[in-house]
Amino acid sequence: MDWTYNSVAPCLLREMGATGLKPCGTLHRTCMKKTKTKDSHLLEEWDKAHLWHPFTQMKDFQAEKPIIIEEAEGVILRDIYGSEYIDGVSSMWCNIHGHRNRHIDQAVKAQLDKVAHSTMLGLSNVPAIRLAKRLVEITPKGLNKVFYSDNGSTAVEVALKMSFQYWLQMGLPEKQRFIALEHGYHGDTLGAVGVGGIKSFHELHKPLLFNTALAPSPHCYRCPLHKDKETCKLACLEKLEEILKKNCRETAALIMEPLVQGAGGMIVHPPGFLKGVRELCSKYDVLLIADEVMTGFGRTGRMFACEHEDVVPDIMCLSKGINGGYMPLAATLTTDKIYSAFLGDRGKTFYHGHTYTGHPLGCAAALASLDLFENEGVLEKLQPKIRLFNESLNRFHELKHVGDIRHIGLIAGIELVRDKKAKEEFHPGNRVGQEVVLEARSRGVFLRPLGDVIVIMPPLSITADELTRLLEIIYESIRGLESAREQYF
Ligand X SMILES: *Cc1c(COP(=O)(O)O)cnc(C)c1O
* Residues binding ligand X (CB under 6 A): 151-153, 156, 185-187, 257, 262-263, 291, 293-294, 319-320
- Closest to ligand X by CB, 89 or 440: 89
CA distance 148 to 331: 4
Give min distance, CB of 164 to ligand X, in A: 18
Strand-pair partners of 145 = 334
Q: Which residue, among 176, 85, 200, has the nearest Cα to 477 in the 3D structure?
A: 85
Q: Which residue is nearest to ligand X (CB)?
A: 152
State which residue, 156 or 316, has the beta carbon closest to ligand X: 156
- The CA angle 298-300-305, to the nearest 5 degrees, is 90
In angstroms, how far is the first alpha carbon of the chain from the final one?
51
Residues ≥6 apart with Cβ < 8 Å to 435? 481, 484
Least spacing, CB of residue 163 vs ligand X, in Å: 16
Q: Which is nearer to ligand X, 341 or 366 (CB)?
A: 366
> Phi and psi of 330, rounded to 5°?
-150, 160
Q: Which is nearer to ligand X, 98 or 191 (by Cβ)?
A: 191
Measured from the CB atom, is 17 or 459 closer to ligand X?
459
| Residue 152 beta carbon to ligand X: minimum distance, rounded to whole angstroms | 2
**Shortest spacing between CB 160 and ligand X, in angstroms:** 12
Select from 317, 400, 319 the least CA-distant residue to 365. 319
Q: Which is nearer to ligand X, 273 or 475 (CB)?
A: 273
How far is residue 87 from each of residues 26, 372, 462, measured CA to CA in Å? 28, 20, 9
- Minimum CB distance to ligand X, residue 301 (Å): 17
Nearer to ligand X (CB atom), residue 14 or residue 407: 407
Tell me the angle at which helices 378-394 and 360-375 cross, rounded to the nearest 10 degrees: 80
Please state the closest distance from residue 263 (CB atom) to ligand X, in A.
6
Minimum CB distance to ligand X smaller for 18 or for 408? 408
331 or 478: whose CB is closer to ligand X? 331
> Using an 8 Å Cβ cutoff, are 465 and 74 in contact?
no
Strand pairing class (260-261; 267-268): antiparallel
Task: Give CA angle at 234 (232, 237), nearest 5°.
Answer: 140
Residues 6+ apart with CB under 8 A from 23: 10, 11, 12
Shortest Å distance, C-beta 68 to ligand X: 21
Q: How far is the CB of 153 from ligand X (least distance, A)?
A: 3
Within 8 A by CB and 6+ apart from 345, the residues are none
- Other Cβ atoms less than 10 A from the Cβ of 387: the count is 11
Task: Please report how close the Cβ of residue 362 comes to ligand X at its closest, in angstroms.
Answer: 12
* Amino acid residing at 124: S
